[in-house]
Amino acid sequence: MPIRAPWPFDAAGRRFLGRTVKRCGLALLLAVQAVPVLAAHGYAQYGDLKYGPDFTHFDYANPAAPRGGTLTLANPDRRTSFDKFNPFTLKGTAAPGLNALMFESLLIASADETASAYGLLADDVTMAPDQLSVTFHLRPQARFSNGDPVLASDVKYSYDMLMSKSASPGYRSMCEDVKGVVVLGPSTVRFDFKQHNQELPLIVGSLPVFSKKWTEKASFADITFEAPVTSGPYLIERYDAGRGIIYRRDPSYWGKDLAVRRGTFNFDRVVYRLYKDETARLEAFKAGEFDAIVEYRAKNWAKSYVGKRFDNGELAKTEFPHHNGAGMQGFVMNMRKPMFQDVRVRQALSLALDFEWLNRQLFYGAYRRLDSWFSNTDLAAASTFDGRPTPGELGLLDPLRRQLGPEVFGQIVAQPTTNPPRSLRDNLRLAQRLLAQAGWTYSDGALRNAKGEAFSFEFLDDGGAMSRVITAYVRNLEKLGIQVDQRTTDFALYQKRLEDFDFDMVSIRYPDSQSPGNELRDRFSSEAAGTPGSDNLFGLKSPPVDKLVDNVLHARTREELINACRALDRVLMHGYYIIPHWFSAYHRVAYRKELSYPQRLPAYYTAEGWILSNWWRNDLAPAKAQAQTK
């Protein structure tokens, strides 16, 4: 469910004299006999920018890639229809592809750096000496699809709409430390901050920008099929809300020659076709109805991507390595419900998941167990030498010692295993003891509390790939006397129930980040727990967690960030708020032979976004582009 937009600077009219030094990834320009000003073509939260002001393209893009042809894709998730072109409001389901193809922001992320971004709509960013504000200057050539220039007033208008109650509350949580937005001139806008937070320039730089004219016929909250007035490379050509949508390249797209855009968005048209279920989608791909598919089910990858078209080379399948953090995927327990409020109950429920059996019987050994909210990164508490808090972590945890259990200061939680000499039987016996300590004992055919009430809950599912896993998990819970009702619903109703926190247990994936920041407020803060539509599905209200999230947000160096994330991770893992699943360090992609991609892969990327932005059709490729084809 939770999804985050990708992280999206003007020498014109401004003169700087003097020498350049480095600080926090920004060029610190010292004007002669003037107050020091932080300004640059990009921003790095920690360290230095990889690309200088005169770079020509990102290393993972192919500037010689030919442009043309059509890329046809299937629905990237389980939405089978859509009812709006506004991806920022809670009500309704937005068409696929809108964010990536139509909306732009002041900055755009580099996919081979962590927490670094470069100018897109903006060509300059100036950081105030006290770092309590940042000023962007817009590129004079930036244009909306209707030909209007992108102005500072549009940036402010977009911000105001995203901060309104009509928009997803995730935007308000991310921008909680933003005091306000000030228009300084037609092309200059300043964001003022409540306090120092090095991530804030990236956050405000990543916000989508759109024209006021988009809402001329309907308010922001009521926009349905009004075509967005945006600055991105594509326009909506036509659509059928129940079947799909076609985007065509804007022939007047203003940014095609920017360094950050060279070699990207190479297709004349992008088509999304909607399929009712995963089986139909896979069979449609094998029949040649669309061009590429990202596979998340290990069984499908092992068993279903076979046949004549694969044998003769018409279709290819490749596992692409990545360096993404693993994020967190797992079974979320809604602590707004009484039966999940005791940590011993939550720990017991985690003991009933037999990962080794699932990996062996269902996943063909393709996965590793998640052991952290920041798995596959140096931010994970489990990555310390002996699993115990480092001195840096203790400096943050010790002031909270009275509010934390003593176990937090010991070794990090180890995930249950059924590898010998352990077994599922051993784990269920331990779970039974924990449940008894929490007041739940087996009586009259069910696990009951002192009032005689049976331990029962509903597992809400949208009918996706987790169904087999949920069934196996429920089978183990039944051995403990826990009654589970598996409820399957359609995607739209599923999303609505999550937004209203109307569920007991669900399976969720939270996206990864190499440099976590304000999204953690939306995910873990006490305030977000009471905000419908937030990512705090757990109902977590914990002052220590609130404080540790603030420590992450206010980290000034990478070392401080690591210590803060590890301390937060340690507390979250000992709280058993989620039953962790598994991850893979590869993207599994199958595609038609007519598609190609650059030899150099990005380091941090989603497969769908990479295909959309960096691939091309090789049947259009000149010799120069072919030489860079993998």
pLDDT per position as a tens digit, 52-77: 999 999 999 999 999 999 999 999 88
pLDDT of 37 over the 80 cut: no
Task: Specify the CATH number for the domain of residue 370.
Answer: 3.10.105.10
| Helix orientation angle between 543-553 and 558-575, rounded to the nearest 10 degrees | 160
Q: Is residue 563 part of a domain?
A: yes
Task: Quote the domain boundaries for residue 440.
Answer: 328-583
| Average pLDDT estimate for 573-582 | 97
Does a structural domain hold residue 579? yes
Rounded Cα–Cα distance for residues 9 and 106 (Å): 9
- 517 band by pLDDT with thresholds 50, 70 and 90: confident
Residue with the bigger pLDDT between 143 and 514: it is 143
Instruction: Report how many domains make up the chain.
Output: 1
Q: What is the greatest pairwise CA distance in the chain?
A: 84
**Is 577 within a domain?**
yes
Note whether residue 8 is domain-resident.
Answer: no
Q: Residue range 334-343: average pLDDT?
A: 97
Give the pLDDT band (50/70/90) at residue 47. Answer: confident
pLDDT tens track for 192-205: 999 888 889 999 99
Report yes or no on 531 lying in a domain.
yes
For the CA atoms of 78, 83, 84, 88, what is the dihedral angle to 10 degrees? -50
Q: What's CA 226's distance to the chain center, in Å?
A: 27
Residue 277 confidence class, pLDDT cut points 50, 70, 90: confident
CA dihedral 504, 508, 512, 517 (to 10 degrees): -30
Residue 558: the pLDDT is 86
Give the pLDDT of residue 621: 52
Q: What is the pLDDT of residue 78?
A: 80
Question: What pLDDT is stored for residue 377 in this prediction?
Answer: 87
DSSP class per residue in 298-361: HHHHHHTS-SHHHHTTSEEEEEEE------EEEEEE-TTSGGG-SHHHHHHHHHT--HHHHHHH
CA pair distance 206, 117, nearest whole angstrom: 9
pLDDT of residue 623: 45
As a whole number, mean pLDDT of residues 106-126 equals 94
Half-sphere exposure of 221 (CA within 13 A, CB side): 4
Q: Could you tell me the strand order of the sheet in which 315-321 lies?
A: 292-295, 586-592, 315-321
Is the pLDDT confidence value at 386 over 50?
yes
pLDDT at 491: 84
Predicted pLDDT of residue 466: 83
Contact status, residue 11 vs residue 20, Cβ threshold 8 Å: no
Mean pLDDT is lowest, of 242-251, 411-420, 473-482, 619-628, for 619-628
Q: Is the pLDDT of residue 514 over 90?
A: no
What's the pTM?
Answer: 0.78
Question: Does 371 reside within a domain?
Answer: yes
Strand partners, 333: 505
The answer to whether residue 494 sits within a structural domain is yes
Residue 499 lies in a domain: yes
Lowest mean per-residue pLDDT among 22-31, 292-301, 353-362, 526-535: 22-31
Confidence (pLDDT) at 33? 31
- φ and ψ at residue 222, rounded to 5 degrees: -105, 5
pLDDT at residue 19, rounded to an integer? 23
pLDDT confidence of residue 622: 57
pLDDT of residue 538: 97
Question: Which runs of consecutive H residues, i.e. helices, occur in 452-553?
Answer: 467-479, 491-499, 519-524, 526-529, 543-553
Gap between the Cα atoms of 590 and 612, Å rounded: 14
Condensed to tens digits (0 to 9), the pLDDT of residues 10-36 reads: 222 222 222 222 233 333 332 323 333
End-to-end Cα, the chain, rounded Å: 33
**Average of per-residue pLDDT across 242-253:** 96
Could you read off the pLDDT of 294-304 as tens digits, one per residue? 998 888 999 99
Q: What is the per-residue pLDDT for 601?
A: 96
Q: Report whether 595 contacts 618 (CB < 8 A).
A: yes
